[in-house]
Amino acid sequence: MFADTDFLLALIKESDWLKKNAVKILKEHKGKIRTSVSVMIEIALLCKKFKINAIKVFTNLFELIEVNEETYSICMQASVYIEKYNLNVFDAFHAAFCSNDKIISSDAVFDSIGLERLKLNKNP
């Protein structure tokens, strides 16, 4: 089963009109529910908007739902970039996907987290 954002939000919010059904579904299908990076990006955007710690939210969600190892690693690294380095959500996920590769970008924010950057805005 694939979990969309509204299901995950219902689980993590203290109160939500969908919470009762979400908890019931989780109990009935625990271990069979998965999600994607795109859903986690949406969750991260909401965390940033409402000033909620993305590291804590991601950690809690990954105890409830299944993701593959790569998705887990990327999401957790992105949450660190969001919380510790104040990167915006998209830059955080770009950096996490980049891993140890060089990133092609005009955005100096990647320098601040130690990524090697091929400067797009550099004169040839």
Place of tokens 């130690």: 114
- Per-residue pLDDT band at 18 (split at 50, 70, 90): very high
**CB 109 within 8 Å of CB 87:** yes
Residues in the chain, overall count:
124
| Whether the model pTM is above 0.85 | yes
d(CA 6, CA 72): 19
**CB 92 within 8 Å of CB 44:** yes
The rounded percent of the chain whose pLDDT value lies above 90 is: 91
Give Cα 98 distance to the centre of its chain: 14
Place of tokens 């019931």: 24
d(CA 122, CA 101): 19
Specify the pLDDT at position 62: 95
